[in-house]
Amino acid sequence: MLQHDPNGETVDILMAVYNGAESLPDQLGSFAEQTHHHWRLLASDDGSTDASRQILDTFGRALPHGKVKVIDGPQKGASENFLGLLRHIIDQRPAPRWIAFSDQDDVWLSDKTARALAALKRCDPEKPALYCSRTWVTCQSLSSRRISAPRPRSPNFRNALVQNIAAGNTIVLNPAAVSLVLESVKHVGSVVVHDWWLYQLITGAGGNIIHDDAPSLLYRQHDANQIGVNDTAFARLRRFFQLLRGDFRRWNQINIAALRSCNAVLRPDHRAVLESFAKLSSLPLMERLVLLRHLRLYRQTTGGTLTLWIAVLFRLV
């Protein structure tokens, strides 16, 4: 098993919290059990009415001063809470170098942080890089588990525009990605979910995505999950109905606006792909289909890519 990083790199864990008292102790305990000991936690409590704040405060008092900090969230939902965390650390000194994102109700495997750092350090340090991984999907009691879906196709901007494969609770960013994200979050407005925005931004800027096929945490799947996994027949059917009622089109509009606000950091060829994608639904049928083929957008499965073509066919993008 990998041990903690010998260079002592500090990883800043950003965790959005809202009424998480039932599961929060397990997640905090898994931070304490990391083989990479050099971390600090910034938690944003989004107006919890349960014991979440007290649990965080108690956890912080048991650790060295400065290891845990709790701030008030914007109370506008999980995505805005994560963006608020990023905006909070823009002027932090010392500036964060490595950032990990955390949900409140998972359990990290003990080598999660060490494994992510080891993978990211194999990348060109001058290029933004994002680590993410598969997860063990579990029930509330953690009594059963199944592995999340594989991601067999290469992660890049042409995939990121139409699908998110970067599970936010597994994401770790290298210093170049941290710099890119902290500069970009100054300009972005709303996002659909913070992890999809990160996947689009980093690939759009020409960065690297490392998708680890080995799970890095236990992911509690329950009704309160904002998005949830999409690897069961019921979940896929639910997503198809979301497509029919226009959710995918609305998400695309939000994503396009968010990427345009960060236009300066996108590679020129990716800016061109973005603008072509933005006009896709306004074109006549044959032009839509020809452009989609030219753009070479894809999802991770054949069925998912077929659904994309259906969405374009019926102007649901």
**What gap in Å lies between CA 316 and CA 270, rounded to an integer?**
22
**What gap in Å lies between CA 248 and CA 317, rounded to an integer?**
6
The average pLDDT across 129-158 equals 96
Please say whether the beta carbons of 34 and 44 come within 8 A. Answer: no
Please say whether the beta carbons of 225 and 140 come within 8 A. Answer: no
Give SS3 for 217.
Answer: strand
**What gap in Å lies between CA 250 and CA 214, rounded to an integer?**
33
Q: What is the pLDDT of residue 1?
A: 23
- Confidence (pTM): 0.94
The tens digit of pLDDT for each residue in 104-124 reads: 999 999 999 999 999 999 999
Q: Which two tokens stand for residue 107?
A: 């359990």
Please say whether the beta carbons of 44 and 16 come within 8 A. Answer: yes
Residue 225 above 80 pLDDT?
Answer: no
